[in-house]
Structure 1
Amino acid sequence: MAGKIKKGTYVKAIREKLVNSLEAKASDSRFPSYIFDSKGEVLDFNEEYALVRFYTPTPSVWLKLDQLEIVE
């Protein structure tokens, strides 16, 4: 998956991988539904994480690459 994600790719979060993740345990685990149901655009990324902007009035968020799936 990591090789396919690049800047400008549209993605959404995979609920099963995000809900029980280390990131979920380290913060509020009540994720908003829009990260699973709508698409966001990858603004930047590194080897492990992608900065995703969802089209809602909220800040962009860093999510692990393996917690994302590409949508069209």
Structure 2
Amino acid sequence: MPAKLKKGALVRVIKEKLENSVEAKASDQRFPSYIFESKGEILEMNDEYALIRFYVPTPSVWLRLDQLEPIE
């Protein structure tokens, strides 16, 4: 799946992969519902992470590529 992800792509967060991740265990696990219910756009990428902008008035967030799925 990460091969399909690229800058500018619309994505959705995979709830199961984010909730059980090392990143979630290291921070507040009360994720806002918009992360899972709305689409986001990839602004930047590196080998493992993507910077996602959601279309709500919140800051962008870095998430692992395997925690994202493309929206077609």
**Where does residue 31 of structure 1 map in the other structure?**
31
**For the residues of structure 2 that align with 1:59 and 1:4, how far apart are their CA atoms?**
24
**Where does residue 51 of structure 2 map in the other structure?**
51
CA deviation map 1:8-35 (0-9, x unaligned): 1000110000001000011100111111
What's the secondary structure of 2:43's corresponding residue? Answer: strand
Q: Between Structure 1 and Structure 2, how many residues are aligned?
A: 72
**For the residues of structure 1 that align with 2:38 and 2:22, how far apart are their CA atoms?**
23
Q: Can you give the 5+ residue segments of structure 2 that lack an aligned partner in the other structure?
A: none
Q: Can you give the 5+ residue segments of structure 1 that lack an aligned partner in the other structure?
A: none
**For the residues of structure 1 that align with 2:2 and 2:15, how far apart are their CA atoms?**
18
**For the residues of structure 1 that align with 2:30 and 2:71, how far apart are their CA atoms?**
23
Q: Which runs of 4+ in 1 moved over 4 A?
A: none
1:42 Cα deviation after fit: 0.2
Q: Percent identity?
A: 71
